[in-house]
Amino acid sequence: MSALTRITVEAVVNAPVEKAWACYNGPEHVMQWNQASPDWHCPASSIDLRPGGKFSSTMAAKDGSFSFDFRGIYDEVDTHKKIAYTMGDGRKADIIFTKNENDTNVTVIFEPETENSLELQQEGWQAILDSFKKYTESGC
């Protein structure tokens, strides 16, 4: 896989950018939306949202059969606009918040890992972003 390969997922969230930002970056919120399917959950999240700050989210199967920590370090934080981070394995990701009149376009661009197909990774990250959209629009 080329080092230049990047995957993009996006969602239009029916919420102002300030709310979308808060729901995306508050650990108490992340634990509510950070799962790709109903049989998974996020029982723990910590976020130090500043350049050099660390984040960690525990992703776990609800039946207790498997869990892992998704970790990284923030490289860039431009409030209500962009977050760039480096994952624990060295891959990079950008999250871009684009303010529209009454909604926010959230675009996530990430470098894929090599264990799973590009399609599976895109589907998984899109499902998580869709979960974020649903959570934010339902009140966050």
Task: Determine how β-strand 67-78 pairs with β-strand 7-13.
Answer: unpaired
Q: Could you tell me the residue range of the domain that residue 84 belongs to?
A: 7-37+76-137
| DSSP secondary structure letter of residue 138 | T
In a domain, 63, yes or no: no
- For residue range 92-138, what is the model confidence (pLDDT) as tens digits? 999 999 999 889 999 999 999 999 999 999 999 999 999 999 999 99
Residue 18 sits in a domain whose CATH number is: 3.30.530.20
φ/ψ of residue 49, rounded to 5: -80, 85
- For residue range 3-39, what is the model confidence (pLDDT) as tens digits? 578 999 999 999 999 999 999 999 999 999 999 999 9
In a domain, 45, yes or no: no
In a domain, 60, yes or no: no
